[in-house]
Amino acid sequence: MDLEPTLLQPVIGSKLDPEASHSYLLLKRIKDDVFNTEDMHNYELSLMIGLNDFQFCIVNQNQRVVLFESYLFESVKTVNSRVHALMEIFKNNHVLMAGFWKTIRVAFKTHKYTLVPNNLYEETSNLDYLEVNSRINTTIETTHHYEHSELKLVNIYVGDFRILQWLKSIYKLKKLIILHQGSALIEGIRKIQQDVDKELFISVDRGVFHVLIFANSNLHYYNQFSMKSNDDFLRYIMLVFQELSLDQRQTKTIFWGNFTENSDLILLIKKYVRHVALGKRPKELKFGYQFDELFDHEHFDLFNIYSC
């Protein structure tokens, strides 16, 4: 039976379909010609869930990204409405509803996380670690961890209980690997950073940006900042330079995000930081020509879920 017409039917439920529910908007969809429904049991599914958006990608047995989709939630103001938007996306996407993946990884975008040295980590104390800096609602939030063994660190973070219960009802035969957006960034950068001097890595998301400092393949700093304007962004970046004694004339600064080299954000930073460059895609993954419509510095976090 040929499943291709069914599994890859056009997505509805977005503004692309004016008669459908407007709980989400499909922003981008890229499919490689080598995508084959008969091989899906060898494919690895990566999901990235934010407060206002959702992305997923599929990697085949040859480490090639064969499908990518990005969505924006519309009029989502509560956890329940976010769950509803996700349900609508899945209902109209038979690829996501397939249950025979090799691996399923689910990463949450959340500011409720903390990093601890692995020699001090106790799994039974996840909640205690998190409550030092965050208020956790255990009725709707679950705690998880990921060990960055090469860095001798453990990232502890929360997931959404309702979303996870719903996903488990879809993927009954698979154990979900629950991750944090930050862990994908940390692992991705760890694999490419080799300079003995400190380098600054910045991943810009919707209203949030992540700042990481690596030197000699070791993580020295990781934090998230909220931003409403480019001026907010600049102020926080300059604060990081000052607090960590980084040299604006010498420190290499690498950016990922949805912008161009000549965007207002990058041009602003270049006025204050000498060595600014845009990041690349993960080296361990392959991309067909179809992905040329994405910049190399886009969706670095999503594509690195695969490495966790």
Amino acid in position 123: E
Q: What is the pLDDT of residue 179?
A: 99
Q: Are residues 123 and 70 in the same domain?
A: yes
**Do 179 and 207 belong to one domain?**
no
- pLDDT greater than 80 at residue 4: no
Contact indicator for 153, 219 with CB cutoff of 8 Å:
yes
CA 95 to CA 3: how far, in whole Å? 10
Same domain, 2 and 127: yes
Q: What is the pLDDT of residues 72-106, one digit of tens each?
A: 999 887 888 899 999 999 999 999 999 999 999 99
Clarify whether residues 169 and 240 are in a common domain.
no
Mark whether 182 and 229 lie in a shared domain: no
CATH number at residue 230: 3.30.420.260
Say how many domains are in the chain.
2
Q: Are residues 70 and 108 in the same domain?
A: yes
Beta bridge partners of 54: 49, 71
pLDDT (0 to 100) of residue 21: 52
Domain of residue 267: give its range.
Answer: 193-279
Residue 100 and residue 223 share a domain: no
- Together in a domain, 251 and 297: no
Mean pLDDT check: name the lowest of 22-26, 70-74, 149-153, 275-279: 22-26
On whether both 65 and 208 belong to a single domain, the answer is no
Co-location of 118 and 225 in the same domain: no
Neighbours of 78 (CB within 10 A): 8
**Beta bridge mates, 157:** 113, 144
The CATH number of the domain where 89 resides is what?
Answer: 3.30.420.250
Asked whether residue 17 carries a pLDDT value surpassing 80, the answer given is no
Q: Check whether residue 181 and residue 217 sit in a common domain.
A: no
Q: Is residue 188 located within the same domain as residue 291? A: yes
Q: Read off the pLDDT of residues 152-179 as tens digits, 9 standing for 90 and up.
A: 999 999 999 999 999 999 999 999 999 9
| Phi/psi of residue 218, nearest 5 degrees | -115, 140
* Long-range contacts of the stretch 196-201 (C-beta < 8 A, 24+): 197/250, 197/251, 197/252, 198/244, 198/246, 198/251, 199/251, 199/252, 199/253, 199/254, 200/240, 200/241, 200/246, 200/251, 200/252, 200/253, 200/254, 201/253, 201/254, 201/256, 201/279
